[in-house]
Chain A
């Protein structure tokens, strides 16, 4: 069961480009900053199908982007999107 304590713009329009994460699979994802900008923050959003068996294995900064891995220990497909905050 997914409970929502408080929702304020959880999914900005035009900012969600998930990739699939098949059942019983760990999938990596990454997103890059525009040229000339440095990573200052970031994270991962598990999307449709994300139940208690979908977890963040990793979420971390790299030079010029953000990367991570999502575990999908369920029998259903899930998806994952990476976000990065960039600045100079």
Chain B
């Protein structure tokens, strides 16, 4: 059962194409007068998600004023209410966001990859951890902390497994400098996961920066 409609409050204006290999791609910008970081854009790319396997999708940050913007964060929306479709991997690259989506159901679907992109801020840093064990039939958790004084902007994890039985249970900012991940491995083969975070030296004396949690 799908309890809540997908995309609860999407209010974008679609302004361009920014991805390759996708069925559709869009750059989206907020229509309100909310102050945004320089070069701010949420970009998306849509991909087919066939049954019985795992599919990769990537969206690139756009070039603005001759320079490619950088990802602060990203994610994915799988367009199905099936309990057998989920995210295996979601992590930043140097110029965008990469996702591997699982579909173990009997129905084909699609998925959208998202990236929040900005003009490269001061102290911008993407880091990846050493590979962390994710044994068979186990859910494993691990965290990754930004350098002291930096602010967290996003994060994720990459699984070594291409099995649809390996997927993310949780991936979230557990504080303003700490990204945490729980990865499920329901398969019979051992795997590893690599954590990623994106950090920057935001001038918090001049801007507002805040972590909010909850539900609606």
Contact = CB atoms under 8 A, between A and B. Distances in A.
Contacts of A27: 3-4
10 contacts: A26-B3, A27-B4, A39-B42, A41-B155, A45-B172, A46-B182, A56-B171, A64-B32, A83-B212, A85-B73
A40 B207 contact: no
Given A7-B141, A55-B86, A69-B6, A63 B168 contact: no
Contacts of B152: 41, 85
B78 A58 contact: yes
Interface of B is mostly: strand
Given A5-B141, A38-B30, A52 B4 contact: no
Nearest to A30: B8
B11 to A, nearest CB: 5
Task: Give the residue among A40, A45, A46, A56 with the most B Cβ atoms within 10 A.
Answer: A40
Interface of A: 1-12, 15-19, 21, 24-46, 50-65, 67-69, 71-73, 80-88
A86 B34 CA distance: 11
A76 B186 CA distance: 17
A37 B208 contact: yes
A17 B214 CA distance: 5
B84 interface: yes
Interface size on B, as a range, is 35 or more
A24 B11 CA distance: 30
B75 A59 contact: yes
A60 B112 contact: yes
Contacts of B67: none
Given A41-B153, A63-B28, A10 B180 contact: yes
B9 A62 contact: yes
Contacts of A15: 211, 213
A53 B202 CA distance: 38
Q: Which 10 residue pairs of A and B lie closest in terms of their CB atoms, listed nearest first? A: A28-B4, A43-B172, A41-B73, A41-B154, A55-B86, A60-B75, A88-B35, A5-B142, A19-B215, A73-B83
Given A31-B216, A46-B169, A40 B154 contact: yes
B9 A10 contact: no
A86 B215 contact: no
Contacts of A26: 1-3, 81-83
B184 interface: yes
Contact of A87 (B86, B174, B198, B208): B208
A81 B154 CA distance: 16
Contacts of A59: 75-76, 87, 90, 168, 171
